[in-house]
Structure formats: structure tokens, C-alpha cells
Amino acid sequence: MANRETTLQSPSRRTLLKISSLALGGLVIGFSLPFAGRSFAEQILNEGPEDQPMSNATALDAFISIDRDGQVTFTVPKIEMGQGAQSGLAVMVAEELEIELDQITLKEAPPNEQIYNDKLLNFQATGGSTSIRSNWEPLRQAGAAARLLLIQAAAQRWQVGADTLRAEKGRVLGGTNGQSFGYGELVEDASKLPVPEDIPLKPAEQFRLIGKPTRRLDTPAKVNGTARFTIDLVVPGMKYASARACPVLGGTVRNVDERAARAVPGVIEIIRLENAVAVIGEHTWAAFAGVRALGIEWDLGDNAGIDSAQMERDIKDALDKTGAIANEQGDIDKALKDAAKTFEAEYQMPFLAHAALEPMTCVAQVRSDAVELWVGTQVPVRAQTAAAEASGRPAEQVIVNNQLIGGAFGRRLEVDFISQAVAIAAKVDYPIKLTWTREEDTTHDMYRPHYIDRFSAALDAEGRLQGWRHTIAGASVLARFAPAAVPENGLDGDAVEVAMHPIYAMPNLRVNYVPVPPKALHQSWWRGVGPLRSTYMLESFIDEVARSVEQDPVEYRMALLGSHPRAQAVLRLAAEKSGWGESLEAGHGRGVAVQEVFGSFLATVVELQVTEDKGIKLKRLVVAIDCGQVMNPVSVKSQIEGGTLFGLSAALFNEITVSQGRVEQTNFHDYRQLRISDAPPVETYIVESREAPGGVGEAGTAMIAPALVNALATASGTRIRRLPLARAGYYVI
């Protein structure tokens, strides 16, 4: 892996996030590979920091550089946080550039939305399962363009037609008398050539790397322990910090008794902020012990009287409002009035914390000439902007060194901990590494909102679905994260994704969204984002509808999926591989869910056993996925397994509750995760496809909860409509 210690700065940079359009599932603005900006890429390389001269490199574009020694450096527009995205993106480049994976070095992209925008998310970010699908054509074009330029340079030297030459393993072959040139020998000439307007890409039948099992580039360092996450970093002169913020959102520091904290060995300094107190120590444990020893008197503010029951009442009351109409077709009111049978249900999903293995941590230094960050962030430009605001400096003076991320799940789309680190660093003359305790991380998270969905379905005399009315109530994440992206009617496209355009055919439909202003908690995206939210509700409801008319849930879904053959195919495959329809012992059950999420089609079947005292034994998880063109089947299976088990933890155990304005859960003892002994085998079946790639990293997470509760209903005869199952007394055996 490349050195991650230095981030090059672009000559121009947006300091404020600008949103031009909203697409369901997230924030999205256009992205185009800047071939016309090749000179700009050259400028980035030539104007690097003085301590890291780049004079030996020649840029072919802003993503790929090849130096005169033939070393290929790929500036990766996505951060690595365990999902294997960087390796998948490198495969695209290596495939079209005709090099092996061991010939490529990765470097983190600097904050620059002009070049590194994600065309699906609408800003420079890693998230929403967009890494592969947003770069599928641009990065392949980048690799192909570089290859064409190198071949053209060789053709000019040999005075032959470029069509007589070929590239292979970092060399151009086909010269007279078996001559060949290494890429490093050609880069100077290649950089002077115009980028071709027509850049043909390889047909799938010629792929050497794409679709084949390949090694992940980050695995060796993670296995041998040389990989460095932010929490591992040591910057010269650095001290260690931790902080304790007001337990109630909006509260401030009133008074601090520092005496016990200053008596802790290794404590250097105590820093007061408006809503928090930080302790700086010679090592992490001095900082942690110092924070615990602080005597802080808080002004708790207006949220101190809020509890979970009040927050739930607010959401329930909102269900009776019209809100914004996300989609309407036919006349659902008439359909419900004329229906031979109707079916109604409400479903709830609780607040969730991200609980990443690596707690929030950031190294920050405020110098006279610059503010420098070493931090794992999903949003480099937002991190840069936050640091600029916290330090009172222009964004151009903020250097962001992006790091490997030890778990994010959406949490590192936020920059609150970065702002806090910079605020602390601004008060001392040395770099500090801020690390939150697990308790601080759990009680000051940005939480997945609590949602309640209400359905009313109209059925004809044969039990066929004629339509449904669907009302969604809960906080709008988008309204806080990017308010300019929310229309006047308050419609949050993320909150209604999947629900707005269900894959099931029905003549009548109305989907309403009622935003509920959040209280006591900051709320944000959680792994699976909109599809996670809506898929649980839809797939639970369609299952109940099928069973209410005594029809098989798979066959009932299949009949409604006529316009989605890829969905039918994965549903059929999952049913076949799971033995759907085969008899089971008493107390055993299977449940199914199918959806299109993140551009991929998935079906999940859960088989479980339930005991009379509500013990659940998970027997099998079967997932069929059509994610279009696969980069690496091993990575796809790994991501489906990891995402599915991650989602199981939430569905079985996880819930954040509030009492007197404070989050009640503090650590993994009361915010439990699935243990190895609890985890069932996950069987993943990949449908071979030449469609454009879909997302995978969050897809398994989105699908598991409805399949789980549908299986439980089959096994026990009891339908659970509110997660987690532990709330209803269920436990894992």
C-alpha cells in the first residue's frame, strides 16, 4: 500500500458542499472523468509538498500516474474501510491498463470535489455502496486511455501503426525484431499526446482480472500487523487526548473540578470547550483516566426531560398527517373502499448506533502555516471544511491525510469528532490524537432514526394485491446533512427509497413521508441507509399479506414481480438452494425477502428454530445475488456474509433508548453484537451477469431483518413488527 502520510493539495477547492440534485438513496451530483484536465493533474503532481517532490512522475490523468521507473500509482477516489473497494477499483484500472495488481500502488485522493466526485452520491464520499458502480466506466476509461497513449507513444518511436502493437504486464510489445518498451520508458512521450476522444473498453470475454478471484491489496498489511489505522498513528511530538461531552444534546459546561484529573499520572493539560472537557496526556490511558476523574457540572439545556416514550409518541402522531406525497398512482382510497379484503399493519425500527470497532479518533495539529489532519473519513472535503471552521483558517490551509478506517457504517460521514479534535489542538502547540472512549462513542453517536411505517392494502376476492397506502414517519437525515437537497415539501429521498417505487406490480399506490424533527439525538445514515429502512417494512408487509390470503410467500411475490425478471431469478434461486417448500419439524421455519437495492437484486432465506421460551437457533442463511458484473466473487461473498451478520445484530439485539435526554446504552454489554457462536453459515449464490455493477457492501444488511422476522412468524406463529427481537424477549441459542 502507498504511503498515507501526505495528501497533496489541489490549486482550487470548494469549501462548501453544493448539492445540485437529489437521487433516491442519497445525494448525487454529476461526475465526469477529467480527461480535458490532464494539465491540471500534471499540476497536482508537480506542485506537491517540498518534502515529497514528484519530479519523477508524469501524469496521464488525475487518477493514474506512471513514473519513469514504470511504477503505476493509482489515486483512489474511495477510502478503504474493510469493504475491499480500493482493490476492486484497482482491478478496473489494472484490467484496462494491462498491468498486474502487484504493479500498482494505491494513494488516497486529496479533498477535491472537482475531480473525485461520486456521481451517485453527489459529492466526494465513500458510502451508499457506490464505490464500484459509480466508477465502473470512468476508471476503466482512465486505464484504457493510459494504455492507448502508451501504445501510441511506442508506435511513434518505432514508426509503425498503433494497431500493430499490444500492451501486456506493463510493457508495449510488437516492435521490430521483438522489441518492447516498458511503460516507464514511454511516459514522457505519452504525456505530450492528446487524450483520445474514442476510448474503447475491453469486452467482457477478454477480461483477465475483472470477475476473477483476486487478492485484496490491503490484506497482507492487515494480516501482518503493518497496516496503520488512525488509532495506531504516532506523529512526532504528538500527545494523547480524550474528551467527555455533555450527556444531553445541546448542553454546555457550567463548571469543572480538575483536581482529581490533574493528579492522574501522565496528565498534561485540561481543555475546556463549550460542551465538552478534554484531557491531554502522555499516553491514551492517562487521557482516559483523567477524563473519568473530572468533576463536571453541566447545564443540561432543553433536552434533559426527553425520553424514548415521548419521541415515539411524536412519531406516532405524525402518522396521522399527510406529509409529502412521494408517489401516487391510481386511486388507493377507492381501491381500499371497494376491496374484497383489506390488511393493515404498522412496523417500527429503533434508533441504532454505529458501534464501529475503531472508535472516533483523529490526529490534529494546528500550526502557524497550516492545519493538518490524520483521520479516517468517508468525506474528505467535509472534513477539510469542518477543520477550517473549527480553526478559523481558510480551507486551502487544511491538509487531510486520509487513513484506513476500522469500521464506519456511515458514522465517518460525520465530522463532529474532527471539529472537536481541531478545537483541542488549537489550544496547544503540538499535535494531539483524540480518541473517544467506547462509552463516549456509544452515547454521542449520530444515530439511525427511529421510524414507524403504516400500511393499508387492498385485495380482491382471489387475494390479489390491488394496491396499498404507505405512510412513513421519522426524522429526515438529509434535512440535517444537506438541507439544500430537501425540497420545500420536506420529502427525504433516502427515507422513501425502495418504498417510493416498490418492485411489486400494483395498480394503486400512495406513499407519504412525514418528517419528524429530531429531539435529544443527532441522527444520521446507518449501513444500508434507505433500502435498509424500507426493505424491512415492505418485505414484512408483503409476507403478511400473502399469509393472510393463505398463499405461499415465494409464489405470491413471484406473481407480482413480472416486470422484474432479475428479481424473479434471484428469488427462484434462493428458494431452490434453501429447500423452500420442503417440510420442516415443528418449531422450525423459513422466511424470505427479495428486493432491488443499491442497483443489485437480492433474495435472502433464513431458516431457524424457535423454542417455547423464545430461544432462537439460526440454522441457515441463503442469499442469491445478481449484482451485475462482478469485480471479485470472493469479495462479493465476503461482503454479503459480513453485511448479513451485521444486520442480524441489529435485528436481534440493537436499540438505542433515551432517558432524561441521555442515551442509556454505553458499551457492548448493553449494545450487544452477534458473537461467533451465534453466527450461522451464510451461503451466497452469485448470478452470472454482464449488467453494469450494482452495490454489494450494504445489500446483505438491508435484506436480513425481514427474512428473519418472516422465518420467526413461520416457526412460532407470532408476528413481530417491531425490532429488535430482544425487545419481545427473544434470545439466541
Segment 440-455, tens digit of pLDDT: 999 999 999 999 999 9
The answer to whether residue 22 scores a pLDDT higher than 70 is no
Among 448, 348, 442, CA closest to 673: 442
Sheet strands side by side (includes 104-108): 57-59, 64-67, 72-76, 104-108
pLDDT on residue 686 = 98
Strand, helix or coil at 539? Answer: helix
- In degrees, rounded to 5, the angle at the alpha carbon of residue 228 between the alpha carbons of residues 227 and 233 is 160
Write down the CATH number for the domain with range 230-301+360-435.
Answer: 3.30.365.10
Backbone angles phi, psi at 343, to 5 degrees: -145, 135
Distance CA 198, CA 449 (A): 47
Within 653-719, residue ranges assigned H as helices are 699-716
How many other C-beta atoms lie within 10 A of the C-beta of residue 614? Answer: 16
pLDDT on residue 454 = 98
Among 42, 27, 10, CA closest to 124: 27
Residue 365 confidence class, pLDDT cut points 50, 70, 90: very high
Residues forming a β-bridge with 503: none
- In degrees, rounded to 5, the angle at the alpha carbon of residue 62 between the alpha carbons of residues 61 and 68 is 60
pLDDT on residue 360 = 98
Distance CA 536, CA 532 (A): 6
Query: pLDDT higher for 64 or 79?
Result: 79
Cis peptide before 53 (omega within 30 of 0): no
89: left (phi over 0), alpha (psi -120 to 50) or beta: alpha
pLDDT on residue 11 = 26
Segment 166-214, tens digit of pLDDT: 999 999 999 767 889 999 999 889 888 887 888 999 999 999 999 999 9
Distance CA 140, CA 697 (A): 21
Residue 229 confidence class, pLDDT cut points 50, 70, 90: very high
The answer to whether residue 43 scores a pLDDT higher than 90 is no
How many other C-beta atoms lie within 10 A of the C-beta of residue 311? Answer: 21
**Cell triple for residue 141?**
476509461
Segment 509-539, tens digit of pLDDT: 999 999 999 899 999 999 999 999 999 999 9
pLDDT on residue 68 = 87
Segment 285-310, tens digit of pLDDT: 999 999 999 999 999 999 999 999 99
DSSP annotation of 679: P
Distance CA 345, CA 365 (A): 53
pLDDT on residue 62 = 66
pLDDT on residue 203 = 96
Segment 492-503, tens digit of pLDDT: 999 999 999 999
The answer to whether residue 50 scores a pLDDT higher than 70 is no
CATH 3.30.365.10 occupies which residues in the chain? 22-224, 230-301+360-435, 309-351+447-732
The answer to whether residue 439 scores a pLDDT higher than 70 is yes
Q: To the nearest whole percent, how much of the chain has pLDDT over 90?
A: 85
Segment 677-693, tens digit of pLDDT: 999 999 999 999 999 99
| Highest mean pLDDT: which range of 112-126, 192-206, 229-243 | 229-243
Among 324, 347, 350, 658, CA closest to 519: 658
Query: Which of 52-66, 413-427, 444-458, 658-672 has the least mean pLDDT?
Result: 52-66
Query: Which of 48-57, 469-478, 591-600, 622-631 has the least mean pLDDT?
Result: 48-57
Among 477, 557, 544, CA closest to 513: 477
Residue 52 confidence class, pLDDT cut points 50, 70, 90: very low
Query: pLDDT higher for 60 or 369?
Result: 369
State the average pLDDT for the chain.
90
Is the Cβ–Cβ distance between 571 and 685 less than 8 Å?
no
The answer to whether residue 85 scores a pLDDT higher than 50 is yes
pTM for the full predicted model: 0.90
For helices 183-190 and 136-158, angle between their N-to-C axes, nearest 10 degrees: 90
Segment 133-163, tens digit of pLDDT: 999 999 999 899 899 999 999 999 999 999 9
Is the Cβ–Cβ distance between 639 and 129 less than 8 Å?
no
The answer to whether residue 384 scores a pLDDT higher than 50 is yes
Residue 35 confidence class, pLDDT cut points 50, 70, 90: very low
The answer to whether residue 36 scores a pLDDT higher than 80 is no
pLDDT on residue 562 = 93
Distance CA 656, CA 732 (A): 20
Segment 613-669, tens digit of pLDDT: 999 999 999 999 999 999 999 999 999 999 999 999 999 999 999 999 999 999 999
Second-level CATH architecture of 22-224 = 2-Layer Sandwich (3.30)
Segment 545-565, tens digit of pLDDT: 999 999 999 999 999 999 999
Domain 309-351+447-732 has CATH 3.30.365.10: yes
pLDDT on residue 197 = 83
